[in-house]
Amino acid sequence: MGDIDRVRDTLTCSTKATWQLGNGHRIDASFFGDPSSGDIGPQRTSALLVGDTASFSSPTYGGHNQTLRYNGVLSNNWLLEASFARALNRISEVFSVNEWRVTDQTLTPTRISGGIGFYEVGSRGLNRQVAVKSTNISAHQPHRSWLEPSRSSRSHAKCGSERVGRSRSHFA
C-alpha cells in the first residue's frame, strides 16, 4: 500500500499580558489553545488491515488553557499572591461507517472487514485551580499561609471506550 499520510490541522495560539497597576501590584494573564483535527483516514494501524475505507475515522482534539495571577505588596510587611487557572481538553472521533468489525478466520490469510471496532467515544476534561498565598513578615519570623482549593471535573456522559456495531470472529 505504500506510505500513508495522517494529515492533522492544528491551530496553536498563545498570548500573555502583564499589567503593572502601580508600585508593588502586578497582574499577569496568559492564554493558550491548540484545537486540532485530522482528515478522515487510517487513524490506527489496524485500519490498514481492512481492504476498504470502512475502518477510517476522523479525530478532533485539543485544549484551551487560561491563567490569571496577581502579585502585590499590600504593606511593608505583607505580600499577597493569588491565581486562577482553567484547562479544558477534549477528544472525539467520528468514524466513516457504523458497521460491525468482522474477522473471518475461515480464510487463509485471515480477512478483516467492517468498521473500526473499539474507539474513543469522546472525552472532555475540565480542571480549575485557585490559589491564594499570604506572607506576613514580622520582626521575629515570617508567617506564611495559603489556600489552594482545586476542582477537577470530567463529563462522564461521553467518556470511555465503545465500539461500532459488534465485533465478530468466524472460525472454521
- DSSP annotation of 50 reads B
Asked if 168 and 103 count as a contact pair (C-beta separation under 8 A), the reply is yes
Q: What is the pLDDT of residue 24?
A: 92
Q: What is the pLDDT of residue 55?
A: 85
Show me where the domains of the chain are located: 8-170
For residue 172, the model assigns a pLDDT of 43
Secondary structure class of 46 (helix, strand, coil)? helix
Q: Cα Rg for the chain, rounded, in angstroms?
A: 26
Closest CA to 96 of 157, 155, 158, 47: 47
- The pLDDT of residue 164 is 43
What grid cell was written down for 65? Answer: 488553557
Q: What is the pLDDT of residue 14?
A: 96
pLDDT tens-place values along the chain, 172 residues long: 567 788 889 999 999 999 999 999 999 999 999 999 999 888 888 888 888 888 888 899 999 999 999 999 998 888 999 999 999 999 988 888 888 888 888 988 888 888 887 776 788 899 999 988 888 887 777 676 766 665 554 433 333 334 444 444 444 4
Model pLDDT, residue 168: 44
What distances in angstroms separate CA 132 from CA 74, 82, 85, 135, 146, one per listed residue?
14, 4, 12, 10, 6
